[in-house]
Amino acid sequence: MESRENITKDLIAGLNSPDENVVVKTIDELRTHGNIHVLPTVFKLLFSKRMETINFSLVDLINDIKDPAAVPVFMDAIRMYRGKSGFEQLVSACWQCGLDFSAHIDTFIELVVEDSYYTALEAFSVIEENVSLLSSQQRTARIELIRSRMEYLSPEKRLLVNELLSMMSTVSGPLRLDPDYMN
């Protein structure tokens, strides 16, 4: 049986192949044999100039990632590829994969406030999916942070941010069951 390390090396080599067919086949293999150690190469490939079919396959793959250990790798990619063409696809994957990005909510707030409108929409969705995981104090602090940045926004961005503020102020926190109540 091939070691996990060798499988990872083979997958990375397949992703880096000049043969587009090998790359597509490797992307398919990642669904069953992939691990978070391959993700930096996946993100690098996503932001390289490759065929559209490869990019679609990569986006589908990252949208389906369910390993919580992938969150820091996603966040590294967000820092590394911010401003690059296709960046909004990476941000979109952060809400589509359904992972917990609540510890990084400030980054997504920054993307809403500072980045392009399309990226801001995707970051809004990440916040929407994760804001209920924050305590009411954490939400209040984020709401104040956003309000302090309102004067610098364009009119269309201001509408989006107002909707974000409304959503954040009406959501309730995580459901916590009292163990004594359960008995």
Q: Write out pLDDT tens, residues 60-93.
A: 999 999 999 999 999 999 999 999 998 999 999 9
Cβ atoms of 88 and 78 within 8 Å: the answer is: no
Token pair in block for residue 83? 């401003």
Cβ atoms of 124 and 165 within 8 Å: the answer is: no
Neighbours of 37 (CB within 10 A): 16
pTM (2 d.p.)? 0.88
Tracing tokens 């809400």 back to the chain, one arrives at: 95
**Widest CA span in the chain:** 61
Percentage of residues in the chain having pLDDT higher than 90? 78
Which pLDDT value is given to residue 174?
Answer: 57
Which pLDDT value is given to residue 176?
Answer: 45
Q: Could you read off the pLDDT of 89-123 as tens digits, one per residue?
A: 999 999 999 999 999 999 999 999 999 999 999 99
Task: Please give the torsion angle defined by the CA atoms of residues 131, 124, 144 and 115, in that order, rounded to the nearest 10 degrees.
Answer: 140
Q: Of the candidates 82, 43, 84, which has an alpha carbon nearest to the alpha carbon of residue 61?
A: 43
